[in-house]
Structure 1
Amino acid sequence: MWNNLLFVLILFGIDFILAITHSLQYVYSGSSGIPNLPEFMTVGLVDGEPITYYDSNIRREVPRQEWMAKAVDPDYWNRNTQVSMDTEPVFKTNIEVAKQRFNQTGGIHTVQQMYGCDWDDETGATGAFHQYGYDGSDFIALDFRTMTYVAPVMQAIPTKEKWNSDRAELENIKSYFTQGCIGWLKKYVSYGKSTLERTVHPEVSLLQKDPSSPVTCRATGFFPKEIMVTWQKDGMDMYYDVEVGETLPNGDGTFQITSKLTVKPEDRKMNSYSCVVQHKSLQDDIAVLLEEKNIRTNQGGLPWGISIIASVGLMILFAIERLWIKNRTG
């Protein structure tokens, strides 16, 4: 119960308050043993919106936003294509090294790197993150308070010791995250201002597979990403019997999120329940009462899954990232 409460307060309460924070994130993913999947993929995101993409099949860095394609010169794509091509063999090597350290041979394996920075354009506050995962779990991460790497698993200790001994490289990394990364983030925000600062209101619906199943409140089609979805009982917020999902991308530049409520039929008859959605695009909160007339079922082929991202490679890259994040948050 308290884990759910803490998750709601941290993930949604804080994000909702700090809705003006912009972020730049890069996700690099190398894999082995997965048929028909590029062995190496990268995606760059600004405020959760994919702006660049590369994989080992197309071997070319390409824009994912029209405004991004118009804002930068052609040499930008040439430079970043070369960076991705140079990084690709490093990830192949990293997988083999990790397999040796974990005493593995064949099978499906992934190495992923996530790094980036964020910037509050009102207060000027900045932050950064730089971490690696292996097979969906944390492998090594940089602690920016001490500028040292931290290894949560013993197999990463040799890497930690090697990287921590290179103080010159650590200074270069610090400079990038405090200056270069923030500088690029500000540029990208200015390039895509009309898109990144737009607001699209969510569509909210209640879904239930059968009368004995949990009731799902689904908000979809909204932008920006920050949103708060809560359940209320007789007008009071609920922090138990509630399971909040992650905010996931749709294929059209908008987002979606679900929140499940487990409630007994007799409790529904005796109390008033409602799903309440707060979002920047709304003048007033959306509140949907838990009544039979407001509940949709999966009869008639109603789609329950998330919207498919246009690029299969990008979709799988997001799936790997979400698996890693899910493992990190327990």
Structure 2
Amino acid sequence: MRHVLLLLLGAHLAYARKHSLKYFYTGVSGIDEFPELTVVGLVNDEQFMYFDSNTMKAVPKTEWIRQNVGADYWDSQTRTDIGQHQYFKNNIQVAKARFNQTTGVHTFQQMYGCEFDDQTGATNGFRQLGYDGENFLDLDFKQLRWISPVQQGFSTVQKWNNNRALLESDKQYFSTECIEWLKKYLQYGKSSLEKTVSPQVSLLQKSSSSSVTCHATGFYPSGVKITWMRNDQEHHEDVEVGELLPNEDGTFQKKSTIRVTPDEWKNNKYSCVVEHQGKTKTANEIRTNPGASVPIGIIVGAVAAVILLVIIGVAGFMVYQKKKGFKPVNASDDGSNSSTHSDPKA
């Protein structure tokens, strides 16, 4: 999730990347007091708007969007999201009936949007729906047709694939209007989205017999690669790479854990190499963290990450992590229109 222009022209040419506009919609049933619908919009994985069905109001989450759009924009966004609230409530009930469920906690989610490569000019769009954390429907833009990996989605696939007007509308939207909104948002947030912050890298271990964690935090943009080295050779055995997580200040964190015995660590040269924006940082000294003495920065970042992940429903949305995006509409020069739209019933 995760890419912006660099300040230096030379670095920009070498590390140009894709930019993305994406929204996550999460409908929930069966949890008292928790919003039945939450909506989070992100540009290059930086959250810029939020809505939930408890407050019934779309609000800005960054200064750059607050300064560049007016009340009409937020009124339009709010009206659209209120409409989506009923859409998601209905679709949860449809999905429950198809899966022969009557009780319990259930989620119905949607992720859609677009991205473009600032070097090649290539664009792409995405639209996916999920139920209870599993893929339910996926729009294949190359073939312009809906597909589903589960039998319960087949009737919707047939219905939507027979609606050529809807398919052509999606195709036109994702290839033009969505990209226009993305470029507009990138211009609005230029000073913030073009920042580059290098990661802080630490090796952490709870005890001498515990796994060793390489923790990279505080970096922006989000593209980062963590590699373990053993005696100056890349090492992939017993390595587990964690998910990218947001920090409270808009930067990111990521970790990679290696399982190794104390004797193996002592008798071999292990190190962690973190690559970010063409630069590398290496860590080979372990910081032992007995008990709860984890650095406060990691605690704050992890708490903020958990809060944000709960909001956007990532816990049940992991199936979509390799694709990104969302769908704004009605682009206008003054930014007075909402960047969301309504969806057909399943």
The amino acid across from 2:34 in the alignment is: L
Query: Who is 2:339 aligned against?
Result: none
1:300-311 alignment to 2 at 5 Å? 300-302=292-294, 306-309=301-304
Q: Distance in 1 between matches of 2:57 and 2:177?
A: 23
Q: Distance in 1 between matches of 2:248 and 2:72?
A: 28
Query: Who is 1:172 aligned against?
Result: 169
Q: Distance in 2 between matches of 1:327 and 1:131?
A: 8
1:149-160 alignment to 2 at 5 Å? 149-160=146-157
The amino acid across from 2:314 in the alignment is: E
Query: Who is 1:25 aligned against?
Result: 22
Query: Who is 2:41 aligned against?
Result: 44
Select 2:114's aligned residue among 107, 111, 117: 117
SS at match of 1:285: strand
Query: Who is 1:98 aligned against?
Result: 95
Q: Distance in 1 between matches of 2:41 and 2:171?
A: 20
Q: Distance in 2 between matches of 1:234 and 1:145?
A: 45
Select 2:62's aligned residue among 61, 65, 70: 65
Query: Who is 2:333 aligned against?
Result: none
The amino acid across from 2:293 in the alignment is: G
**1:136–1:327 CA contact under 8 A, matched in 2:** no
Q: Does 1:204 align with 2:201?
A: yes
Q: Deviations over 1:9-66 (max 9, x none)?
A: xxxxxxxx86521100011111001122111110110000011110001111100101
Query: Who is 2:283 aligned against?
Result: 288
Q: Does 1:279 align with 2:276?
A: yes
Q: Distance in 1 between matches of 2:306 and 2:231?
A: 43
Query: Who is 1:5 aligned against?
Result: none
Q: Distance in 1 between matches of 2:318 and 2:40?
A: 16
Q: Deviations over 1:195-240 (max 9, x none)?
A: 1110111111111122111100000111101011111111111122
Query: Who is 1:299 aligned against?
Result: 291
The runs of 5 or more residues in structure 2 that have no matched partner are 1-13, 323-346
The amino acid across from 1:60 in the alignment is: K
Q: Distance in 2 between matches of 1:36 and 1:30?
A: 13
Alpha-carbon offset, residue 244 of structure 1: 0.6
The amino acid across from 1:204 in the alignment is: V
Q: If the length of structure 1 is used for normalisation, what is the TM-score?
A: 0.88
SS at match of 2:304: coil
Query: Who is 1:316 aligned against?
Result: 310
Alpha-carbon offset, residue 298 of structure 1: 3.9
Query: Who is 2:250 aligned against?
Result: 253
**1:137–1:328 CA contact under 8 A, matched in 2:** no
Q: If the length of structure 2 is used for normalisation, what is the TM-score?
A: 0.84
Select 1:131's aligned residue among 110, 128, 133: 128
**1:137–1:327 CA contact under 8 A, matched in 2:** no
Aligned length: 306
Stretch deviating more after TM superposition (259-268 or 45-54): 259-268
SS at match of 2:303: coil
SS at match of 2:65: helix
Alpha-carbon offset, residue 327 of structure 1: 8.2
Stretch deviating more after TM superposition (41-50 or 201-210): 201-210
SS at match of 2:80: helix
Query: Who is 2:342 aligned against?
Result: none
**1:231–1:275 CA contact under 8 A, matched in 2:** yes
The amino acid across from 2:27 in the alignment is: G
SS at match of 2:248: coil
**2:134–2:319 CA contact under 8 A, matched in 1:** no
**2:309–2:315 CA contact under 8 A, matched in 1:** no
**1:138–1:328 CA contact under 8 A, matched in 2:** no
Q: Distance in 2 between matches of 1:134 and 1:222?
A: 33
Distance 1:326 1:204, change over 3 A: farther
Alpha-carbon offset, residue 296 of structure 1: 2.8
SS at match of 1:172: helix
Alpha-carbon offset, residue 317 of structure 1: 2.5
Select 1:213's aligned residue among 196, 210, 219: 210
SS at match of 2:317: helix
Alpha-carbon offset, residue 309 of structure 1: 2.9
Distance 1:163 1:63, change over 3 A: same
The runs of 5 or more residues in structure 1 that have no matched partner are 1-16
Q: Distance in 1 between matches of 2:316 and 2:292?
A: 31
